[in-house]
A and B are shown apart, each in its own frame.
Chain A
Amino acid sequence: MANALAKAGERQLIPVVFTLNGREQTIEVEPHELLLDVIRNRLGLTGAKKSCDMQVCGACTVLVDGRPVSSCTLLAFEVRGRKVLTIEGLAENGKLHPLQQAFIDHGGLQCGFCTPGMILAAKALLDQNPRATEADVIDFMEGNICRCTGYKSIIKSILAAAETLRNKNSS
Chain B
Amino acid sequence: MLRRFRLEEPESVEQASGLLSHHGESARIYAGGTELLLVMKEGLARYERLINIKRIPGLDQVTMENGAIRIGALATHGKLEEDPILRERLPAFARMEHNIANVRVREVGTLGGNLSFAEPHADPGTLLLALGATLIAAKGSARRQIPGETFFLDAFETALEPDEILTEIQVPLPPARSAASYLKFGYLERPSVGAAVFLALDGERKSIAEARIAVGCAGPRPKRVGEAEAVIKGKSLDESSKLIAQAGQIAARASEAMSDLHGAADYKEHLVGVLLKRAFHNAAQECLSGQKGQGQRHG
Contact = CB atoms under 8 A, between A and B. Distances in A.
Contacts of B25: none
Interface in A1-51: 1-2, 4, 6, 8, 11-12, 14, 30-34
From B8, B50, B103, B104, name the one whose CB has the most chain A CB atoms within 10 angstroms: B104
A73 interface: yes
B33 A75 contact: yes
B108 interface: yes
A61 interface: yes
Contacts of A1: 9
Interface residues of B, number: 29
A34 B3 CA distance: 11
B34 interface: yes
Interface in B66-103: 78, 101-103
Contacts of B297: 139
B107 interface: yes
Contact of B189 (A31, A56, A140): A56
Contacts of B8: 2, 4
A141 B280 CA distance: 30
Nearest to A67: B107
B105 interface: yes
B6 A12 contact: yes
Given A55-B34, A73-B34, A6 B6 contact: yes
Given A4-B19, A55-B105, A32 B3 contact: yes
Contact of B102 (A6, A67, A124, A142): A142
Nearest to B102: A143
Contacts, number: 78
A68 interface: yes
Nearest to A56: B189
B103 A68 contact: yes
A55 B102 contact: yes
Interface string B23-62: 0000000000110011001000000111010000000000
A58 interface: yes
B7 A8 contact: no
B9 A2 contact: yes
A165 interface: no
B2 interface: yes
Nearest to A60: B104
B5 interface: yes
Nearest to B49: A8
Contact of B2 (A34, A54, A124): A34
Contact of B101 (A11, A53, A55, A69): A55
A2 B19 CA distance: 13
A142 B244 CA distance: 33
A1 B11 CA distance: 11
A2 B6 contact: yes
B203 to A, nearest CB: 38
Given A55-B38, A73-B37, A73-B38, A31 B104 contact: no
A75 B103 contact: no
A2 B102 contact: no
A160 interface: no
Contact of A67 (B9, B50, B78, B189): B78
Contacts of B19: 4
B293 to A, nearest CB: 16
Contact of A143 (B2, B6, B103): B103
A103 interface: no
A70 to B, nearest CB: 5
Contact of A58 (B5, B6, B38, B102): B102
Contacts of A53: 41
Contacts of B189: 56
A75 B189 CA distance: 22
Contacts of B3: 32
Given A4-B8, A61-B104, A142-B102, 4 more contacts: A2-B52, A4-B19, A11-B4, A31-B50
7 contacts: A4-B8, A8-B49, A30-B4, A31-B50, A55-B102, A73-B38, A75-B33
Interface of B: 2-10, 19, 33-34, 37-38, 41, 48-50, 52, 78, 101-105, 107-108, 189, 297
CB-based closest 8 A-B pairs = A143-B102, A31-B7, A32-B2, A2-B7, A70-B104, A2-B9, A56-B189, A67-B107
